[in-house]
Amino acid sequence: MSITVEVVVSDAQKSFWKEHAEENPKYDHLSDLVRTAVAEQIARDTGDDNVPDDIENMFLDIQTEFEDLQSKLAIANGALEDIQHTQVDEQTLEDVLETYSGMIRRDIKDMTPNEERAGNEGQDGE
């Protein structure tokens, strides 16, 4: 048995939703869009997103690697900012750049799947 639930929205909002539902083959009609949106939001809120554990773990690994890379970039940027305020010779600047760029390149290379690495060997000058 179905019941009707009323939702109060502006005419413009309803038109926007209706247009989206009509243009997207994923939805049969406006009601289908609303039901789908509510169900997906509840799934997100309850953590029941139907994402397989291995995919979720892969995402968490990627997120961790990305955060590590962001941290290293922040350290490198800090070192470069420190150099801006100090008189350094060209060799010192090159050494600092090489140290941090090498560290970041290695991390990115470590994040790349083995199959992609095999296809890209020699392209980055290493």
Closest CA to 68 of 108, 109, 113: 108
The answer to whether the beta carbons of residues 72 and 103 sit under 8 Å apart is yes
- Write the CA distances from 25 to 78, 80, 116, integer angstroms: 49, 51, 35
List pLDDT tens digits, range 60-74. 888 888 888 888 888
Instruction: With beta carbons less than 8 A apart as the criterion, state whether 21 and 27 touch.
Output: yes
- The residue-averaged pLDDT of 33-43 equals 88
With beta carbons less than 8 A apart as the criterion, state whether 72 and 107 touch.
yes
Conformation bin of residue 3: beta by default, left when phi > 0, alpha when psi is -120 to 50: beta
Mean pLDDT across 85-91: 79
Percent of the chain scored above 70 by pLDDT?
Answer: 87
- pLDDT-derived band at 126 (thresholds 50, 70, 90) equals very low
Say what the pTM is.
Answer: 0.40
Q: Is residue 34 over pLDDT 60?
A: yes
**37: amino acid identity, one letter:** A
pLDDT over 60 at 37, yes or no: yes
Residues 6+ positions from 120 with CB-CB distance below 8 Å: 112
